[in-house]
Structure 1
Amino acid sequence: MATDTRVQVRSAPAQPKAAPAPMTTSLPWRPFETLRREFDRLLEDMDRSFFGRGAEAGDDAFWRRAIDWRISPSVDVLERDKAYEITAELAGVEPKDIEISVANGVVTLRASKSAETEHKDAEHFVRERQFGRYERSFGLPADVDAEHIEAHLHNGVLRLVLPRRADAVADRRTITVKAA
């Protein structure tokens, strides 16, 4: 049964206004991260095949290093006439584990997802699901009405609606480009 849950959006205390940043993600593009994960997975499989075991805690193979992947939800950002929308995949995350804040022209989404159970009587054969803390930040366009941002969680998808100020919508116009 699908449920629709509201998530509380908190505003930070007013700060001196700086020029708003364009709507962008704060995380850098990392073209080799997927490739690195695949190599790590391949090496785990080789270790299991050659030595008949998985990567137990404390197993310091020469190729293993500390993994510090930034877990980050996939998002879509839409621009509509009266609002911007950000949707983020947060499957398995509970509303109580989501925090959305607005400060200094930036909206930040934080969420955490923890592993459901400990498997003391079993070893992981394959573990691809990710657990940890998610964080994404977006610069707010100048016309966003930050006091009326809404957030809804439905079937593992978080939808943020960032309404445009009424005066900004009324002032919007299209400029015709003429050939020189």
Structure 2
Amino acid sequence: MRRNPFEDLEDLFDRLSTQFEEGMARDSGLTIPGQAGVDVADTGEEYVVTADLPGYETDDIDLRLIDGALKLEASRDAAETHEEGDYIRRERTQHTVSRRVRLPDPVDEEGIGASYNNGVLTVTLPKLTGETGGHQIDIS
């Protein structure tokens, strides 16, 4: 059977399109699949990081400050989304998102606060002069 030369061309366009979309997302602030979308605001005295994490519980979220960067990871097990009965459609499955946000200035590790309300995580990071080590952040 003869190979269709247009299939190779279509594959090439698909790959280019994917690379273009990922590049646009990186440059424009759009969310890339598997990454949590975040807003980072500088209020002068602190940084405020806001992330939309709908469908996650507080215990599903791991939040750490490591080497001047805020590391966020949220994961939901497939078992948590399982309901009894036969599915007609199943789009809600196991899902993990993560994000690492480099902070321009050192922050006061002991003054960091985090809250999670209606699927929105808000982290406040007071600015500090001087470097510090890693720190686990509790979410209320």
Same fold (TM over 0.5): yes
Instruction: Identify if the C-alpha distance between structure 1 residues 143 and 105 changes in structure 2 by more than 3 Å, giving closer, same or farther.
Output: closer
Aligned to 2:123: 160
The one of 104, 107, 110 equivalent to 1:141 is 104
Which amino acid is the alignment partner of residue 133 of structure 1? Answer: T
Aligned to 1:4: none
- In structure 2, how many angstroms separate the alpha carbons of the residues matched to 1:99 and 1:160? 12
- Displacement after TM superposition at 1:135 (Å): 0.8
Aligned to 1:91: 54
- In structure 2, how many angstroms separate the alpha carbons of the residues matched to 1:130 and 1:84? 33
Aligned to 2:36: 73
The one of 66, 69, 72 equivalent to 1:106 is 69
* 1:32 to 2:14 alignment: no
Over the matched positions of the two proteins, sequence identity in percent amounts to 34
**RMSD in angstroms over aligned alpha carbons?**
2.5
Larger Cα Rg: Structure 1 or Structure 2? 1
Aligned residues: 101
SS at match of 1:32: helix
Which amino acid is the alignment partner of residue 121 of structure 1? Answer: D
- Displacement after TM superposition at 1:103 (Å): 1.6
Instruction: Identify if the C-alpha distance between structure 1 residues 141 and 163 changes in structure 2 by more than 3 Å, giving closer, same or farther.
Output: same
CA contact under 8 A between 1:71 and 1:130: conserved in structure 2?
no
Aligned to 2:133: none
- Displacement after TM superposition at 1:146 (Å): 2.6
- Displacement after TM superposition at 1:150 (Å): 1.0
Greater fraction of residues in strand: 2
- Higher RCO structure (Cα 8 Å, ≥6 apart): 1
Give TM-score, length-normalised by structure 2.
Answer: 0.61
CA contact under 8 A between 1:86 and 1:159: conserved in structure 2?
yes
Give TM-score, length-normalised by structure 1.
Answer: 0.48
SS at match of 2:59: helix
Off by >6 Å, runs of 4+ in structure 1:
none
Instruction: Identify if the C-alpha distance between structure 1 residues 93 and 31 changes in structure 2 by more than 3 Å, giving closer, same or farther.
Output: farther
Aligned to 2:82: 117
- In structure 1, how many angstroms separate the alpha carbons of the residues matched to 2:47 and 2:33? 25
Instruction: Identify if the C-alpha distance between structure 1 residues 120 and 32 changes in structure 2 by more than 3 Å, giving closer, same or farther.
Output: farther
- Displacement after TM superposition at 1:31 (Å): 4.4
CA contact under 8 A between 1:106 and 1:138: conserved in structure 2?
yes
- In structure 1, how many angstroms separate the alpha carbons of the residues matched to 2:111 and 2:20? 36
CA contact under 8 A between 1:76 and 1:87: conserved in structure 2?
yes
Which consecutive unaligned segments of at least 5 residues does structure 2 have?
1-18, 23-31, 131-140
